[in-house]
Amino acid sequence: MAEEVKKQRPAPDPNSAKMRLRKIAADAYSDAVEAKKRGELVGWCSSNFPVEIPETLGLTVCYPENQAAGIAARGGGERMCSEAESEGYSNDICAYARISLAYMKLKSAPEQDMPLPDYVLCANNICNCMIKWYENIAKELNIPMIMIDIPFNPDYEVSEAEIDYIEAQMWDAIHQLEKITGHKWSDEKFRQVQQISGRASKAWLDATATARYVPSPFNGFDLLNHMAVMVTARGKEEAAEAMDKLNSEYEENHLNGTSTFHAEEKYRIMFEGIACWPWLRVTSTGLKGRGINMVTTIYADAFGFIYKDFRDMCRAYAEVPNCMNIEHARDKRVRLCKDNHVEGLLVHTNRSCKLWSGFMPEMSRQIGKECNIPVVSFDGDQADPRNFSEAQYDTRVQGLMEIMDTNKEAK
């Protein structure tokens, strides 16, 4: 019998954007562990909290949403969710919150460790579940909670009054942090951070915009991974550099006719919602196996924070996708669909995230109508593996593909 020769994959280039981004994401955790060991105070921070504040103050913070996603992607979601449920938390609560609350109690998880916090930084521009989640942590660990209230904005634009409200709280948060940590705010340092974060954001927006090329130079699932750096490290120099590199790699791919989507790109869709982390492989191969490339998601837009000064930054944080009104949020998605030649929309109805799955049926209906594309949704969960059915997912994706086929034939 002929001996099977195992296909040798070339060792990944440590200088590639992918490896650099992976390292930045991993270092964020190990740096925090080291900082804690040195006796520094470490904070936990919600994903849409202005990172410019801890960054300018030179503080080490970790991101529980990110950690929860990592734990779920590596198979620990069910264990951690059950742990939180046995503490009395309902299984209806956001699975990121359940995982994080379980972690607070267990203090370690083989999938992704992170030091426990000495203070928490919470902004509710992402959702209001966040407030109760962080309050519980603060109460249980008896640590301070710094809260910036950035309410859902029912108007299309952010008003000056809202900016006043947020700006005052930002300064208050800074002063509280100065008191807690002893670190001092510097306007000069802030300008540097703003400049780096602007550069990283611009490179991220440019990289994700290369999906306008047909075929796309990248597999949209890349974005779900790379995004971690935009959440946690966009104020860091090395993040801006890695994002520049990502953009130039995608441009190169386009010129060379290559892509990180390793299949023939027959259909292009937008994916809406948080990734289904426990079933990432199943959800991605269900698409790739059919030649469906998820070329864009709202994340492509969500972490592009470009602003001109401190006050303008306050506006930017009131304009993140989860706190803008439905018309504004829809228009952003419509633009992504149109710019990137999207032929169908796949919506992850994620019961963990009340906010997102709440507005999605109506918003996706409007997007489908405006862009004249089919919209298909499937049930899942960002981190609790018990709320997903592979067979149901598969049928829906195939149905979506068959409609896209019919639409192509009609053209």
Partner 1 sequence: MYTLGVDIGSTTAKAVILENGERIVASSIIIATVGTSGVQNAVTEVLDKSGLRMEDMTAVVATGYGRQTYEQADYQISELSCHAIGAHFVFPDVHTVIDIGGQDAKVLSLNERGQLANFAMNDKCAAGTGRFLDVMASILNLKISDLEKEAAKATEPAQISSTCTVFAESEVISQLANGVKIPDVVAGICSSVASRVASLVRRVGVQEKVCMTGGVAQNGGVRLALEKELGVPILYDDKAQLMGALGASLYAFNKENKKNNT
- Asked whether position 379 contacts partner 1 by CB under 8 A, the answer is yes
Nearer Cβ to partner 1, position 54 or 380? 380
Q: What is the largest CA-CA distance in the chain?
A: 77
42-45, strands of its sheet edge to edge: 60-62, 42-45, 119-123, 145-148
Residue 286 is inside which H or E element, if any?
helix 280-288
Tokens coding 89: 């938390």
Nearer Cβ to ligand SF4, position 352 or 364? 352
Nearer Cβ to partner 1, position 87 or 402? 402
Residue 127 interacting partner from partner 1, ligand SF4, none (CB closer than 5 to 8 Å by kind): ligand SF4
What is the spatial distance between Cα 204 and Cα 199, in angstroms, rounded to a whole number?
9
Nearer Cβ to ligand SF4, position 89 or 250? 89
- Asked whether position 387 contacts partner 1 by CB under 8 A, the answer is yes
CB 328 within 8 A of CB 359: no
CB 149 within 8 A of CB 169: yes
What is the spatial distance between Cα 114 and Cα 137, in angstroms, rounded to a whole number?
15
Instruction: Quote the least distance from Cβ 351 to partner 1, whole Å.
Output: 8
Which residues are bridge partners to 44 per DSSP? 62, 120
Nearer Cβ to ligand SF4, position 98 or 254? 98
- Asked whether position 376 contacts partner 1 by CB under 8 A, the answer is yes
Nearer Cβ to ligand SF4, position 259 or 352? 352
Place of tokens 């292009």: 268
Nearer Cβ to ligand SF4, position 163 or 355? 355
Alpha helix ranges (H) inside 210-318: 221-233, 237-256, 280-288, 299-302, 310-317
Place of tokens 């990110």: 66
Residue 353 interacting partner from ligand SF4, partner 1, none (CB closer than 5 to 8 Å by kind): ligand SF4
Which of 31, 149, 312, 402 is in the footprint of partner 1 by CB under 8 A?
402
- Asked whether position 238 contacts partner 1 by CB under 8 A, the answer is no
> Residue 344's Cα: distance from chain center in Å?
21
Q: Which of residues 373-392 bind ligand SF4 (CB under 6 A)?
A: 382
CB 276 within 8 A of CB 348: yes
Which of 356, 378, 388, 393 is in the footprint of ligand SF4 by CB under 6 A?
356
Neighbours of 405 (CB within 10 A): 13
DSSP-derived letter for residue 115 is P
CB burial of residue 136 (10 Å; 0-12, 13-18, 19+): middle
Q: What are phi and psi of 375, to 5 degrees?
A: -125, 125
What is the spatial distance between Cα 65 and Cα 95, in angstroms, rounded to a whole number?
10
The amino acid present at 240, given as its one-letter code, is: A
Binding characters for partner 1, 317-356, by CB under 8 A (x = yes): --------------------------------x-------
Nearer Cβ to partner 1, position 64 or 286? 286
What is the spatial distance between Cα 385 and Cα 111, in angstroms, rounded to a whole number?
15
Site size for ligand SF4 (CB under 6 A): 16
Select from 26-34, 121-129, 207-215, 385-393 the region that touches partner 1 (CB under 8 A): 385-393
Which of 166, 231, 353, 397 is in the footprint of ligand SF4 by CB under 6 A?
353
Nearest to 119 by CA among 176, 166, 52, 165: 176
- Asked whether position 130 contacts ligand SF4 by CB under 6 A, the answer is yes
Binding characters for ligand SF4, 86-105, by CB under 6 A (x = yes): --------x-xx--------
Binding characters for ligand SF4, 230-269, by CB under 6 A (x = yes): ----------------------------------------
Nearest to 378 by CA among 365, 369, 388, 368: 388
Residue 398 interacting partner from ligand SF4, partner 1, none (CB closer than 5 to 8 Å by kind): partner 1
Which of 42, 73, 126, 404 is in the footprint of ligand SF4 by CB under 6 A?
126
Which of 35, 129, 280, 403 is in the footprint of partner 1 by CB under 8 A?
403
Alpha helix ranges (H) inside 152-236: 160-181, 187-209, 221-233
Select from 36-44, 50-58, 281-289, 352-360 the region that touches ligand SF4 (CB under 6 A): 352-360
| Chain contacts with partner 1 (rule: CB under 8 A) | 349, 361, 365, 368, 374-377, 379, 387, 389, 391-392, 394-396, 398-399, 402-403, 406
| Chain contacts with ligand SF4 (rule: CB under 6 A) | 65, 94, 96-97, 126-127, 129-130, 274, 322, 352-356, 382
